[in-house]
Amino acid sequence: MPSGERSTKQPFRSARNAVVASLLRAEQLSRSELSEITGVSPAAITEVTQVFLQRGLLAELPSLSTNGRRGRPIVQLQLQASHAYFAGISVGESAMPMVLTNLRGEVVAHHSLPACKTPTDMVKATSKAFQELLSASQIPRSRIHGIGITVSGIVDAEEGICRYSAALNWRDVPVAELLAKALRIPAWVDNDANAIAVGEKFFGRAREMEHFSSIVLGRTIGSAHYMHGTLYRGYTDSAGEIGHISVVPKGIPCRCGRSGCLDTVAGGFALRDAAKSAGLHIRTMRDLEEMALHGNTKAAKLLRNAGTCLGLAVASLVHLNNPQSVLFTDFEGFGNGVFRTATRQAIENNVMARFLGATQILFSDAERDLLPRSAASIAAFEYLNSL
């Protein structure tokens, strides 16, 4: 691309991104409000909104009264959620949820696929589920502008390849290419933690944040980080491997080949194994928390140790990245018990005061469709970035 073309497109893209982000947060805004909120000039706002109106991405709402004052009526702009739809699927070793969302990330149709052992089985099952979602939602295929896929493991997002997934036993699987060809729509793939962070940024708790860390509490511990409004991937797209920070020297062997990683202490797999070894019969982390609540010292010790190790690792991240917020997403169902309390206390006790006062620590339980919805947000992000 010629340098002159780059220089003219860059300001438009910056203004476009600011307008989209603002209208994702607010139900409706006027052009002057958009200019004030984004810091973008009125002329640039007019240019961007005119393009979006022509493409059907925005709609002008009936003019508001000026309360008897002279001047033009105030015209409000609203993002058209039905302008584009996106599919999202979470590919894993258990049942695979799939959804369709609109441009605001609202789920309009849901389907659950059985676990698939091979990429070929996954493509066949996804193709069938996609047709069923279209039929159930009555949304034409032409309105679906892409599919996002989450995979637990190491993912080359730029190439669309799952490099390795221990859960699926996959190596170098071109997931995005396979589904794009089968569904005849653009496809993108990323790991679970990155997808959740993108979903938080576009449709969740981080819509107004430029700097935040997302911590995923599941069978293993995942993380991802936004810096200056952009997902930070690292030099080899491997940033965020918090689960393999060493927290117990000479500790339990980890699947990565080292010992004492955070996953071996605070991950769901590890806690279930530790509970079993301690003679505690549990199905979920809620069971373990209930035992601790009713005075079981073994359960309390396991949860307290796990939360403390996680909190120490997160405290290090706070010092390194200085995020505005650390957003915990709980897939294991700990609830507001011993584990969360120990995690929060470890962060607060090990972070310098000037960081602690500026950093929000927020916990939330994972909603049913969070992973496939987060996957769909990847496709929505790529679509909006192409406008």
Beta strands in the chain (DSSP E): 29-30, 58-60, 76-79, 85-91, 96-102, 107-113, 144-151, 154-156, 161-165, 170-173, 187-191, 212-217, 221-227, 230-232, 325-330, 360-365
With a cut of 50, say whether residue 3 has pLDDT above it. no
Q: What percent of the chain has pLDDT over 70?
A: 94
The residue that leads in pLDDT, 45 or 386, is 45
Q: In CATH, what number is assigned to the domain containing residue 111?
A: 3.30.420.40
Asked if residue 289 and residue 303 are part of one domain, the reply reads yes
How many separate domains does the chain show? Answer: 3
Verify that 327 and 233 share a domain, yes or no: yes
Give the residue numbers spanning the domain of 14. Answer: 3-79
Question: Which CATH number belongs to the domain containing residue 17 in this structure?
Answer: 1.10.10.10
In this structure, are 242 and 137 located in the same domain? no
Question: In terms of domains, do 224 and 358 share one?
Answer: yes
Q: Would you state the structure tokens that stand for residue 14, as one six-digit string?
A: 């910056």
> Rounded to whole angstroms, what are the CA distances from 230 to 113, 241, 289, 329?
32, 18, 36, 20
The pTM assigned to this predicted structure is 0.87
Domain final residue, candidates 79, 108, 139:
79
| Same-domain pairing of 309 and 233 | yes
Band (64; pLDDT cuts 50, 70, 90): low
Mean pLDDT of 154-169: 91
Is residue 145 domain-shared with residue 45, that is, in the same domain? no
114 and 185 part of one domain: yes
Q: How confident is the model at residue 207 (pLDDT cuts 50, 70, 90)?
A: confident
What's the mean pLDDT in 112-117? 90
Pair (186, 283) in one structural domain: no
Q: Assess whether 257 and 332 both reside in one domain.
A: yes
Quickly state the pLDDT bin for 5 (edges 50, 70, 90): very low
Report yes or no: 80 and 59 within 8 Å, Cβ to Cβ: yes
